[in-house]
Amino acid sequence: MFRIACNILIGALTIISLSTLPGCGYTLRGKVVRGETSSIEMVHEIDSRLKGPGIMNAEVMVRRDPKSPHPEMVGRTRTGDEGSFAMNISQFGAGWMEEQWLVQAGMTGFTNTQQMSKLPPSGGKWQLLITLAPGQSSPLDQPDQITQEIDRYK
């Protein structure tokens, strides 16, 4: 009976420790705001721009391996009423590996923006501040010119 209880305890501890490993769950947080030029930057949570009004219903997408012929979309979400978003990314290494990710954002009536960057550290005090400028938008999931050229010559 004691042996069974020990095995159950060891199994439970193993499951708990594996669930806390990096890459098993990451949440990308940020806010989309209106500005003069469209951009994406990593800011500390005390940045005053995060407290200002945001853009509701803006789309935010993240792609892994952005330089490959077919980048993998790992997350897609829309901002809430305040312009904030929280996107779960379950890809191994998100938020801690030295890796470049393509972050894209857009909203009807605003110029799209995109940037290749490292994601903010997991559980840290850093967030993405996405600024969208008024202007013409296009669908975010439209393939870029390089991808179109590769597909054309297949």
**What's the mean pLDDT in 117-146?**
80
130 by DSSP, 3-state: which? strand
Supply angle C-alpha 104, 125, 73, rounded to 5. 25
Would you tell me how many other CB atoms lie within 10 Å of the CB of residue 16?
9
pLDDT at 149: 52
**The 59-64 sheet, strands edge to edge:** 72-78, 59-64, 101-106, 113-117
Would you tell me how many other CB atoms lie within 10 Å of the CB of residue 84?
15
Phi/psi class of residue 116: alpha, beta or left (left: φ > 0; alpha: ψ in -120 to 50)?
A: beta
pLDDT at 13 over 60: no
pLDDT at 49: 94
* Helix, strand, coil % in the chain, rounded to nearest 5: 20, 35, 45
What's the CA dihedral at 125, 99, 32, 142 to 10 degrees?
-170
pTM: 0.73
| Pairwise pLDDT comparison (149 vs 32), residue with the higher score | 32
What are the structural domains of the chain?
A: 23-140 (2.60.40.1120)
Element holding 3 (H helix, E strand): helix 2-19
Enter the tokens of residue 75. Answer: 């997350």
Count of H helices and E strands in the chain? 2, 8
With contact defined as beta carbons under 8 Å apart, do 104 and 63 qualify? yes
